[in-house]
Amino acid sequence: MMPLLFSLDDAHSLRTPLCRGLNADAGRLERRRFPDGESYLRIHNEVTGRPVLVLADLSRPDDKFLPLSFLCDTLRELGASQVGLIAPYLCYMRQDDRFHAGEAVTSRTFARLLSTQIDWLVTVDPHLHRYHRLDEIYRVPSTVVQAAPLLADWLGERQDPLLLVGPDAESEQWVAKIAARSGHDYVVGSKVRSGDRQVAVQLPDLSAWHQHTAVIIDDVISSGQTVLRCLQALRAQGLNRVDCAVIHGLFADDIEQQLTDNGLRRLITTNAIAHPSNAIDLSPLLLAPIRKHLAAS
Amino acid sequence: MMPLLFSLDDAHSLRTPLCRGLNADAGRLERRRFPDGESYLRIHNEVTGRPVLVLADLSRPDDKFLPLSFLCDTLRELGASQVGLIAPYLCYMRQDDRFHAGEAVTSRTFARLLSTQIDWLVTVDPHLHRYHRLDEIYRVPSTVVQAAPLLADWLGERQDPLLLVGPDAESEQWVAKIAARSGHDYVVGSKVRSGDRQVAVQLPDLSAWHQHTAVIIDDVISSGQTVLRCLQALRAQGLNRVDCAVIHGLFADDIEQQLTDNGLRRLITTNAIAHPSNAIDLSPLLLAPIRKHLAAS
């Protein structure tokens, strides 16, 4: 039976390419808030016996969790044969330990709650650090898609000589792979974080690459302080053509303006989270794992 | 062991009287949001082996659910002997059926999710209409407290002659009881709702009560359109002294200003939801049921 794809967010740019690639019907979802702030949700399709996909942007997740739960629960009550979640950005992955006494390990609670709502999960480059696999906290089958090859291919098509810049040691392995696949040089900085928005980045001597365009590479941009400090460190060494390419563009505060003011030339993101900087379409990577889960469930 | 009481909202006016009445320690909760919009939460008390109470204002609930879940989950991980929830206003009670095909029965999903987080629940006048008991959807023991006697006693102390006004037939039984206990007359109107914010209210002939102060009585004020139309209907019949007393003051939009502009003299609420209109303290009603659950768990 043809799958039905619902998007929690009408504007998600992965909606149309996923429907086309999977030969799925686009689901019609009605959503609004009552005057008292509660969510109303209504599904305008016959779902009985059909496999259903839910595409959800889980950035800024707190007020999205209940609507997502209402959607998934209703789909199952109405007889969907399976409810698979496509969350290109998976939230609540960073607090993966109790770093200080009394802290909530939010990744664990979020995964436990979400696992009761869905049959399987496909996501793109979640923050896996102390956890090595989503199975450690998610109780449903999941597939993690790596966007690095797409990013590398996009960078490989650039004609100007590039220097790829990883802002910290944590990114080294990842940046090295992108550099190898795209055929560009790379360097890695060192980062010291002293608060949510306090970051210092140091870079090695870059005098060999003064004619290159620097491209800062990271998996996520949120407060953007890491990218901002990296940009400043690059310019302090005389590299004046600086771009930035990240997978997940969250963009807190007014960071885009700050980056522009500090001389960033171009910002490139994947369409994991819809944003004007989206330049790399993830759908080609997502189709195979989604088809695999659809067939297995 | 002395219970520990955490409040999801530092400003909740029930916090201090409940701690005093229950001889409970006030818990120290640290809460903030990361730049990417995720919640951080840390408990600054030793909770192992202690009974814990969580006081939560569940008005405008969507972005409160995850922080509340993180709090309850962490308390249990850290060894609290029980986690009881005091939610003076219980959200997501109105969508208690699938009125149109495909609608989410949000009350059921919310109750299922919340029931996994807590050991018991105490609330005040939840909207019980098609459900007759919280047990039909909540899987934990619960106690429903009725605020009507407190409201009646407060109205009974008023010296001026009052006419209590229930805006619709649904409120008749409730308003009749408050009238009997407070010794005032009452009337009940009829309401036709054609949308979230479209309401018409008709009242019977009120010429016998022209010298009275009218007090509109309701369990909840949200968009406030019901109260506003009732106020206009009262004034159209020449009743110019009109007050309004409700249990749960949610106050969407700019309804307080509209009510004042339309001649409402005074607005009175309980402290179920903290607001400048709070005039009736619910804590005397809550202590006994909380003690009962503490002892039973």
Residue from the list B42, B61, B103 with its beta carbon closest to the beta carbon of A37: B61
The answer on pLDDT for B69 being more than 90 is yes
Residues of A in contact with B63 (CB under 8 A): 62-63
Residue B171: predicted pLDDT:
86
Token readout for A169 is 């040691």
Residue A278: predicted pLDDT:
94
Q: Are residues A96 and A202 in the same domain?
A: no
Cross-chain Cβ contact B106/A39 below 8 Å: yes
Residue B245: predicted pLDDT:
97
Q: Are residues B48 and B100 in the same domain?
A: yes
Residue B269: predicted pLDDT:
96
Residues of A in contact with B110 (CB under 8 A): 66
Residues of B in contact with A220 (CB under 8 A): 36
Cross-chain Cβ contact A37/B45 below 8 Å: no
Cross-chain Cβ contact A62/B44 below 8 Å: no
Say which amino acid occupies A106: T
Token readout for A276 is 């004007």
Angle at A286 between CA A281 and CA A288, to 5 degrees: 135
Residues A178, A166: Cα–Cα separation, whole Å? 10
Within 91-120 of B, beta carbons closer than 8 Å to A belong to 91-92, 94-95, 100, 102-106, 108-110, 112-113, 116
Q: Are residues A62 and A82 in the same domain?
A: yes
Residues B248, B269: Cα–Cα separation, whole Å? 7
Within 267-296 of A, beta carbons closer than 8 Å to B belong to none
Say which amino acid occupies B196: D
Residue A192: predicted pLDDT:
87
Token readout for B249 is 């003051």
The answer on pLDDT for B162 being more than 90 is yes
Asked if residue B52 lies in contact with residue B80, where contact means CB atoms within 8 angstroms, the answer is: yes
The arithmetic mean of pLDDT across residues B44-73, rounded, is 97
Q: How confident is the model at residue B183 (pLDDT cuts 50, 70, 90)?
A: very high
Q: What is the pLDDT along chain A (297 residues), one digit of tens a residue?
A: 899 999 998 788 999 999 999 999 999 999 999 999 999 999 999 999 999 999 999 999 999 999 999 999 999 999 999 999 999 999 999 999 999 999 999 999 999 999 999 999 999 999 998 999 999 999 999 999 999 999 999 999 998 999 999 999 888 889 999 999 999 999 999 988 888 888 889 999 999 999 999 999 999 999 899 999 999 999 999 999 999 999 999 998 789 999 999 999 999 999 999 999 999 999 999 999 999 999 998
Q: How confident is the model at residue B195 (pLDDT cuts 50, 70, 90)?
A: confident
Q: Scanning every residue of chain A, which has its alpha carbon at the shortest distance from the alpha carbon of B106?
A: A70
Residues of A in contact with B42 (CB under 8 A): 100, 102-104
Asked if residue A267 lies in contact with residue A278, where contact means CB atoms within 8 angstroms, the answer is: no
Largest CA distance in chain B: 64
Sign of CA dihedral A216, A219, A223, A226: negative
Instruction: Note down the domain range covering B185.
Output: 148-280
Q: Are residues B112 and B18 in the same domain?
A: yes
Q: Are residues B163 and B254 in the same domain?
A: yes
CATH of the domain at B43: 3.40.50.2020
Residue A253: predicted pLDDT:
77
Residue A193: predicted pLDDT:
84
Q: Are residues B286 and B139 in the same domain?
A: yes
Q: Are residues B248 and B183 in the same domain?
A: yes
Best interface-test mutation with B: which of A41, A66, A256 has the largest number of B CBs within 10 A? Answer: A66
Cβ–Cβ contacts within 10 Å for residue B190, how many?
A: 12
Provide the phi-psi class of A37: left if phi over 0, else alpha when psi is between -120 and 50, else beta. left
Q: Does A132 touch chain B (CB under 8 A)?
A: no
Residue A50: predicted pLDDT:
97
Residues of B in contact with A91 (CB under 8 A): 36, 38
Task: Assess: ipTM above 0.85.
Answer: yes
Angle at B290 between CA A62 and CA B144, to 5 degrees: 75
Q: Scanning every residue of chain B, which has its alpha carbon at the shortest distance from the alpha carbon of A43?
A: B102
Taking only the tens place, the pLDDT of each residue in B252-282 is 878 999 999 999 999 999 999 999 999 999 9
Residues A113, B66: Cα–Cα separation, whole Å? 9
Dihedrals phi, psi of B109, to nearest 5 degrees: -65, -45
Q: Are residues B123 and B269 in the same domain?
A: no
Q: Does B195 touch chain A (CB under 8 A)?
A: no
The answer on pLDDT for B286 being more than 80 is yes
Token readout for B81 is 């002997």
Residue A9: predicted pLDDT:
85
Token readout for B178 is 């408050």
Residues B152, B218: Cα–Cα separation, whole Å? 12
Q: Are residues A93 and A142 in the same domain?
A: yes
The arithmetic mean of pLDDT across residues B65-84, rounded, is 98
Nearest C-alpha neighbor of A224 from the set A179, A267, A177, A281: A267
Residue from the list B64, B71, B223 with its beta carbon closest to the beta carbon of A35: B223
Q: Does A231 touch chain B (CB under 8 A)?
A: no
How many domains in chain A? Answer: 2
Q: How confident is the model at residue B89 (pLDDT cuts 50, 70, 90)?
A: very high
Q: Does B49 touch chain A (CB under 8 A)?
A: no
Residues B24, B12: Cα–Cα separation, whole Å? 16
Q: Are residues B74 and B176 in the same domain?
A: no
Residue A249: predicted pLDDT:
94
The answer on pLDDT for B187 being more than 90 is yes
3-state secondary structure of A15: helix
Instruction: Identify the bridge partners of residue A218 per DSSP, sorted by sequence position.
Output: A246
Instruction: Identify the bridge partners of residue A51 per DSSP, sorted by sequence position.
Output: A82
Q: Scanning every residue of chain A, which has its alpha carbon at the shortest distance from the alpha carbon of B40?
A: A104
